[in-house]
Amino acid sequence: MTDTWRMDHLGFYGNKWIKTPAADRLASESVIFEDAYPESLATIPVRRGYFTGKRVYPFREASFKPWLRSKDFRSWCYGWQPLAPNDVTITELLKANDYTTGLVADIPFYCQPGSNFHRAFDSYDFIRGKEYDKFRIRTTPWTAEITGFLDNFRGVGWDEDFMPSQVFRSAMKWLEHNSWRDKFYLHLELWDPHEFWSPSEIYWRMYNPDFEYENEEEELRLINPSGKLTDLLPEDLLPYEGMRDYPWVADYTERQIKQVKALYAGNCTQTDFWMGVFLEYARLLGVLDEAVVFFLTDHGTSLGEHGVFRKPQFAMYDQLLRLPMTIRLPDKSYAGKRVSGFNYVHDWPVTLLNLLGIEKHEDMEGVDVMPLVTGEKEKLRDYVITGYNNFVSVRDEKWHYITADRRRIKYGPEQDRLYDVPKDTEMETNVIKKNAPVVKEMNSRILKLWKEYGLEYKQP
């Protein structure tokens, strides 16, 4: 499982200019899913959905608030909290069925005090130092976020020192010690290609070979784009408080935008390279062809589309929401098959359990996606709903709708957006004013979901 890997930045999903040979080879041996979505964003809500097989959205504010200002767990949006004591995880179910379980990850929130995503793992290796991880004492005179990054990355100079190498090499050691077992579950997670976008220079120069930074300040600004709210806002968006935290492309030159894209592409290629090393090692050990292998991510990112960088909650477009997801079966069944049909992150653990012949827990709400693969079903659901803090999107085969929870933020109905996806794949033309019945139906779907959980959803 990776973090922030855009679907359209993988060769097997059609990208022609970014080098991802390891992921492409794995996909050629796997089933490829075209319509995978998160039901909630961002990092931690997605992982809660994966580990529990349950929806996180609609968000239950009462369970979230204790963590909002917790000293032991960094929460910043609804649904961003540790696993609850009464949650039953896929790891616990596997362990109860005699699987040896291992976790290798550099996700900075996993190693925070108060986090408990590592429970039921027989072993866990946290690769320290990513982003907000308080790995080293702050010493550099920059903003807190940049300071943490600079201090954590002191001494990193060679490709093998970077996090993808460290994570995959740790996973290789785990396989070396456990590949003889008949039943094991290795949960391998990478923060890359999440920002800060700072791959080894050899990777980003593949995509922007002649670029030179003007100074250190520019380099720091581009590896983690930041900026102020400008006057050049999209016409259908008015300012609200959450917008101040995200960089607008209008603050950057064309030269700088090109470098941001090269940095992200370099992160993708660096991650792919070390994934290839790991997968080849698994082949040599003889375990790859006996294992079920999932490749997936939690969300994507914006690289200038709709005027922004990174993942602002109001920019709930395909760049954030459409997820790469593949399953490699032991006998390479259905290798290379592309499967349409909406599925969620919390479907994936249920699917894995079914493939292993383990009954899902009664609390798990996800469904098995394999009937889409075998042809038993043409679809699992008619639409998907994704919640992201104060915003929510609804997607069906024709329409993509984005709205806001106006109980909490100043955001009028005139700022909602609706796109006719088959006619407007880039979602550039808001057609909400001409399609009132569609908007009514989209809102009714959100209301129905909330009612299913005994919650009230009001839009003033």
Q: Around Cβ 406, how many Cβ atoms within 10 Å?
A: 17
Rounded Cα–Cα distance for residues 70 and 358 (Å): 36
For the chain, the distance separating the N- and C-terminal CA atoms, rounded to the nearest angstrom, is 39
Q: Give the pairing type, strands 323-328 and 293-296.
A: antiparallel
Rounded Cα–Cα distance for residues 278 and 281 (Å): 5
Provide the residue range defining the domain that includes 17.
7-377
Residue whose C-alpha is closest to residue 102's, from 138, 137, 126, 69: 126
Q: Around Cβ 67, how many Cβ atoms within 10 Å?
A: 17
Residue 64 maps to a domain: yes
For the stretch 2-31, pLDDT in tens is 999 999 999 999 999 999 999 999 999 999
Residue 73 has pLDDT above 80, yes or no: no
Residue 445 maps to a domain: no
For the stretch 218-232, pLDDT in tens is 998 899 887 543 343
What separation in angstroms does the CA of 238 have from each of 125, 230, 242, 418? 44, 11, 11, 16
254's tokens: 């064309």
Residue 370 has pLDDT above 70, yes or no: yes
Q: Provide the number of structural domains found in the chain.
A: 1
8 Å CB contact between 315 and 308: yes
Residue 2 maps to a domain: no
The contacts found for 446-450 with CB under 8 angstroms, 24 or more apart, are: 446/385, 446/392, 446/394, 446/403, 449/58, 449/385, 450/58
**Amino acid 459: pLDDT:** 52
Angle, alpha carbons 428-432-434 (nearest 5°): 115
Residue 440 maps to a domain: no
Q: Give the pairing type, strands 309-310 and 302-303.
A: antiparallel
Lowest mean pLDDT across 241-245, 268-272, 450-454? 241-245
* Helix 216-223 and helix 254-285, axial crossing angle in degrees, nearest 10: 60
Query: Mean pLDDT throughout 393-421?
Result: 88
Residue 201 maps to a domain: yes
Residue 150 or residue 279, greater confidence: 279
Radius of gyration of the chain (CA): 21
Q: Around Cβ 226, how many Cβ atoms within 10 Å?
A: 17
**Amino acid 229: pLDDT:** 37
Residue 96 maps to a domain: yes
8 Å CB contact between 337 and 32: yes
Residue 204 belongs to domain with CATH number: 3.40.720.10
Residue 92 maps to a domain: yes
The pLDDT > 90 percentage for the chain reads 70
Query: Mean pLDDT throughout 81-104?
Result: 95
- DSSP 3-state of 241: helix
For the stretch 247-282, pLDDT in tens is 778 789 999 999 999 999 999 999 999 999 999 999
Residue 369 has pLDDT above 90, yes or no: yes
Rounded Cα–Cα distance for residues 187 and 306 (Å): 34
Query: Mean pLDDT throughout 96-115?
Result: 92
Lowest mean pLDDT across 128-142, 310-324, 356-370? 128-142
Query: Mean pLDDT throughout 382-398?
Result: 96
392's tokens: 């929510």
Residue 339 has pLDDT above 70, yes or no: yes
**Amino acid 75: pLDDT:** 77
Rounded Cα–Cα distance for residues 36 and 24 (Å): 18
385's enclosing H/E stretch is: strand 383-388
Query: Mean pLDDT throughout 424-443?
Result: 96
Residue 382 maps to a domain: no
Q: Around Cβ 218, how many Cβ atoms within 10 Å?
A: 13
Most confident of 116-120, 295-299, 308-312, 452-456: 295-299
For the stretch 156-207, pLDDT in tens is 777 888 899 999 999 999 999 999 999 999 999 999 999 999 999 999 999 9
227's tokens: 């900026």
Residue 229 or residue 48, greater confidence: 48
8 Å CB contact between 147 and 220: no
Backbone angles phi, psi at 419, to 5 degrees: -130, 140
Q: Phi-psi region for residue 419, left (φ > 0), alpha (ψ -120 to 50) or beta?
A: beta
Query: Mean pLDDT throughout 210-221?
Result: 92
Nearest 10 degrees: Cα torsion 324, 327, 328, 331: -150
For the stretch 280-310, pLDDT in tens is 999 999 999 999 999 999 999 999 999 889 9
**Amino acid 195: pLDDT:** 92
Length of the chain: 460
Most confident of 23-27, 82-86, 213-217: 23-27
**Amino acid 216: pLDDT:** 85
Q: Around Cβ 244, how many Cβ atoms within 10 Å?
A: 10
